[in-house]
Structures are given as C-alpha cells and as structure tokens.
Amino acid sequence: MFFQNYFNIVNKSISAIEIRDLESVAEKILKISSLGGKLIIVGNGGSANIAGHMAVDFTNAAKIEAVSFNDPGLITCFSNDYGYENWVTRAMKSYAKENDLLITISSSGNSKNLVNASLLAKEMGLYNITFTGFDKNNRIRSIGDKNFWVDSNLYNVVEMTHHVWLVSIVDFLIEERKKRN
C-alpha cells in the first residue's frame, strides 16, 4: 500500500504542470542559445546533483551550452572568501554573460545563496527559471521570471518532480532539433 500511495503522489506532482509552460521555457532556451547564451543551472544538495545532470544533458543531448557550479574547489574557495550565501553570485559574476539564462533549483525556495543568485540574475538582466517546492510563497519563486512549483513538502517528491520536468524539456528540445534538421 505504501508504494502505491507514494507513486500516486509522485504521479500527481509530475502531472500538475501546464504543458504550455514547459513549451514556453523550451522556446526561451532555444532563443537564448541562438543568441549565443548558455544555461547556468544551480542548486544545493540533491538539487545540485540535478543541476549537474541537467547541465550535461542540455549540453550533450540537446546541444544547448549549459554549466553548473558543482566543482568542490570553486564552491569551497568562493564560500571561504565570500561566505556561503554569496558563493553562487561570485561564480555568476565570474562566468555569466549577456544572454545567459539561470535555472535555479531549490526544494524550499528559500536557500540564501540561491535567493541571492536569483536576485543577481535579475540585476544582470538574465532570465531566471525557478524550480521550487514546499511553501507556494517561497522567496525564489517571487523573484524568478518563470516559476515551476511543486505542491509538496516531501524532498524526494519535489526533487523527482523537478528532475522529470527538466529532462522532459531536454527531450522536447531533442525532438525539436530533429524536426528542424
């Protein structure tokens, strides 16, 4: 009974998305790429792992340049020198350029380092797509340009839903590329 209930919860979360929203984000990513921009994908913990996976999938499978800031040397250097709440913004200041797009992944939507990254994206004029969960009124969701929110307080449900939504965008982009070639 546990697994059936669990999978029903996960399925409900994954399915609670407006397909048009995913399509519009895919279109925005294609536009950013055509302008020479890249995707910068950030998160903490499990969301950082999702960010790393997605950077590889966007780059390798969808042929859209993408990076994540998951290098331990980068994280520990910038955290030590500027404070944990500022390490992502310092990385963005080093690597982000005009026409880049930030994807912020945070289950709570309130991690200070990711809130600061979203604020900097706005200041730099970068489009920010957010993936959050838990409280609908979380901080990151209030900053992003396009926001995907999971109505759950369960970390694994939120993270799996973010991951499925993101890989679906990659697969959509792969199919779009096939149609255009």
Query: Within 10 Å of residue 105's Cβ, how many Cβ atoms?
Result: 32
Q: Label residues 114-139 b or e (16+ Cβ within 10 Å = b).
A: bbbbbebbeebebbbbbbbbbeeebb
Instruction: Give the pLDDT score at 180.
Output: 80
Amino acid at site 83: G
pLDDT the model gives residue 97: 97
What is the Cα–Cα distance from 134 to 77, expressed in whole angstroms?
A: 30
Max Cα distance, the chain (Å): 51
- Alpha carbons within 13 A on the beta-carbon side of 174: 12
Whether residue 36 contacts residue 179, with contact meaning beta carbons closer than 8 Å, is answered with no
Tens of pLDDT, residue by residue over 135-164, are 999 999 999 999 999 999 999 999 999 999
Neighbours of 152 (CB within 10 A): 20
Q: Give me the sheet containing 146-149, strands edge to edge.
A: 66-68, 39-43, 101-106, 127-132, 146-149
Q: How far apart are CA 118 and CA 146, in angstroms?
A: 12
For residue 6, the model assigns a pLDDT of 95
Report the distance separating Cα 86 and Cα 81, nearest Å: 9
Q: Which CATH number fits domain 36-180: 1.20.58.100, 3.40.50.300, 3.40.50.10490, 3.40.50.1370?
A: 3.40.50.10490
pLDDT tens, per residue, the chain with 181 residues: 999 999 999 999 999 999 999 999 999 999 999 999 999 999 999 999 999 999 999 999 999 999 999 999 999 999 999 999 999 999 999 999 999 999 999 999 999 999 999 999 999 999 999 999 999 999 999 999 999 999 999 999 999 999 999 999 999 999 988 888 7
Whether the model clears a pTM of 0.85, i.e. scores above it, the answer is yes
